[in-house]
Amino acid sequence: MILKRGLPMIDGTIVKGIGGFYYVNTGDKIYECKARGKFRKEKITPLVGDCVKITVDGLSGQGVIEEILDRKTELIRPPVANVDHAVVVFAVHQPEPNLSLLNRFLILAESQEIDITICLNKMDLAQHEDLCSLTDIYRRIGYEVIMTSTKQNIGIEDLKGRLENRITVFAGPSGVGKSSLLNSIQPNLKLQTGEVSQKIERGKHTTRHVELLALDFGGWVLDTPGFSSLHLDFIEADGLQYLFREFHDFIGTCKFNGCKHLSEPGCAIKKALENHQIYPSRYESYTQLYEEIMQSRRY
């Protein structure tokens, strides 16, 4: 145990951050902490999931984050650290699934080498053809897809089995039922839920901050605010192709080296698209992201 200014350094994990205060779980207690000013000067923001070292004032009980240990992974949206599993939740209806947004989050998770499970929620509202189309696209690419309904208790045990002894982030748009799923998995979490606004197709009274929650059967989950957009301009344009799993068999077989898979002749990716080996919605996401990344580099 290292002493600093006469106070012992205690290891812990940030489980919540609100209004400049960070709540650090040390195993036997949760301390409210502020971060040292040095982090602001170094442009480092503490994240939920960070492993930290803190000191605690014996009189006030107030903690101070002294060190942030190296992160294994880091997501930008939701802003969390050290997760090893992402459950990407989308509803099959109310709100309608946004495949472009789903693809963007998959690319974000792939860039961090995080294990991914796609959860298609609200099965009770789905038409058969909707389910077949969505599940076929992503299962054929190689993603695990779990279909769930909290109202009919479908798929909950399957999803629960994916969470044991892992640090899992639940992410997806507002109103898709992330908090409801977590309440079904572990009722004592008692997370606030709300219906979807018919006007804007977004959840009412939904999660407002990121929080790391302990599971009774082992592991941790992060319930996170919903999002309606996701910018990935930190990814290098030339590396984007490697984050699309279905591209892997064709990369390196184009006619020209350095093919961007846009309009070049002899492109193996474009040929695979024509041969129905790559789904149009996925290729469209690739071209949109590529152009966005290149546009961001111009400024």
Known binding residue 124? Answer is: yes
Known binding residue 219? Answer is: no
The encoded tokens of residue 279 equal: 């789904």
Residue 113: strand, helix, or coil = coil
Known binding residue 281? Answer is: no
Known binding residue 122? Answer is: yes
Known binding residue 209? Answer is: no
Known binding residue 174? Answer is: yes
Known binding residue 216? Answer is: no
Cβ contacts of 7 within 8 Å, gap of 6 or more:
55, 56, 57, 58
The DSSP string of 150-161 is TTTTBSHHHHHH
Instruction: Determine contact, residues 118/146, Cβ cutoff 8 Å.
Output: yes
The encoded tokens of residue 227 equal: 């999002």
Q: At residue 183, what are phi and psi to the nearest 5 degrees?
A: -65, -35
Q: For the chain, how many residues are written? A: 299
Instruction: Determine contact, residues 93/123, Cβ cutoff 8 Å.
Output: no
Known binding residue 72? Answer is: no
Known binding residue 177? Answer is: yes
Known binding residue 194? Answer is: no
Known binding residue 173? Answer is: yes
Known binding residue 136? Answer is: no
- Is the omega angle on the peptide bond into residue 95 within 30 degrees of 0, that is, cis? yes
Known binding residue 92? Answer is: no
Question: Residue 287 burial (CB < 10 Å; 0-12/13-18/19+)?
Answer: middle
Half-sphere exposure (CA, 13 Å, Cβ side) for 20?
3
Known binding residue 52? Answer is: no
Known binding residue 121? Answer is: yes
Instruction: Determine contact, residues 121/170, Cβ cutoff 8 Å.
Output: no
Name the binding residues.
121-124, 172-180, 254, 259, 261, 267
Name the binding residues for GTP.
121-124, 172-180
Name the binding residues for Zn(2+).
254, 259, 261, 267
